[in-house]
């Protein structure tokens, strides 16, 4: 059964509700709803448990499933309500330096923190940026989400013609933004993530190797209700165009992602098993 039309209806109702609430009760309500969702969808809860078990074992941490769903509810409430939030940016100069080389830029993020807010940050910089997204199967759900995404960006759906679209953006020396922690529409490539085999999408890294464009990892981390920290990492530069060069890029991104998961896994909203055999 396709639950997306019901999700769209539920999100529309939630959006109207959260917009009427002051910040403190809104966040409290959103966290409670997140906890409720973890019980309504036991398969999603089980996937988060399995993912956190790998991270906790590798990093020696004690991240909790309930906190993931609470944080997701709070982050989602900011997406729905569009309240004023405090955003602190670290490392913009790294992105500026990568852009100055004139090959185009590939921004890589993940389902960690408030990635939709990252679109608003990039739009505020005034750069021409195309965000690549996985479309929903429900037209109602797709329209609902798209209407709330950052204005000022171009958007490109994964699917037929997407690869050509990305190539053209980079040919114009512009920027692409991609979620790079789960393969969509492809099998992906195996990397070591948090000490275990996992798959990352191959596409972004293949584009970098072919075009010479640097990969710029970045994450939007929630530091508290209504407070976010944008962190831009050092650019990852391609060193060739073959399979080996692509694998090197994949491995470097896996190291960056693993570093952030070891610190912020309770903000990783990946609701399906990531590791092979976990």
pLDDT in tens, 199-227: 999 999 999 999 999 999 999 999 999 99
- Provide the whole-model pTM: 0.92
Q: What is the pLDDT of residue 8?
A: 62
Domain residue spans in the chain?
1-278
Q: Which residue has the higher pLDDT, 137 or 198?
A: 198
Q: Are 49 and 30 in contact (CB under 8 A)?
A: no
Mean pLDDT of 257-268: 98
How many Cβ atoms sit within 10 Å of the Cβ of residue 153? 18
Measured torsion, CA atoms of residues 240, 130, 260, 188, in degrees rounded to the nearest 10: -60
Q: What is the pLDDT of residue 246?
A: 96
């Amino acid at each position: 059964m396709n639950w997306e039309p019901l999700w769209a209806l539920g999100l529309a109702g939630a959006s109207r509700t959260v917009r009427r609430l002051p910040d403190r009760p809104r966040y409290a309500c959103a966290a409670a709803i997140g906890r409720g969702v973890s019980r309504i969808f036991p398969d999603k809860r089980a996937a988060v448990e399995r993912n956190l078990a790998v991270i906790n074992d590798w990093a020696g941490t004690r991240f909790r499933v309930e906190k993931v769903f609470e944080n997701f509810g709070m982050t989602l409430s900011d997406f729905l309500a569009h309240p004023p939030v405090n955003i602190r940016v670290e490392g913009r100069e790294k992105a500026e330096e990568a852009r100055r080389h004139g090959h185009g830029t590939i921004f890589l993020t993940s389902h960690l923190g408030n990635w939709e807010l990252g679109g608003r940050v990039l739009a505020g910089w005034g750069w021409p940026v195309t965000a690549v997204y996985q479309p929903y199967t429900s037209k109602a759900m797709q329209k609902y989400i798209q209407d709330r995404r950052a204005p000022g960006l171009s958007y490109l759906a994964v699917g037929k013609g997407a690869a050509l679209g990305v190539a053209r953006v980079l040919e114009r020396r512009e920027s692409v933004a991609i979620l790079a922690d789960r393969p969509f529409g492809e099998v992906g490539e195996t990397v070591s993530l948090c000490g275990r085999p996992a798959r990352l999408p191959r596409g972004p890294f293949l584009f970098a190797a072919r075009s010479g464009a640097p990969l710029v990892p970045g994450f939007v981390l929630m530091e508290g209700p209504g407070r976010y920290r944008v962190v831009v990492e050092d650019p990852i530069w391609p060193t060739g165009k073959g399979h080996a060069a692509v694998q090197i890029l994949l491995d470097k991104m896996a190291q960056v992602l693993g570093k952030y998961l070891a610190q912020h896994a309770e903000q990783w909203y990946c609701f399906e098993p990531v590791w092979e055999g976990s």
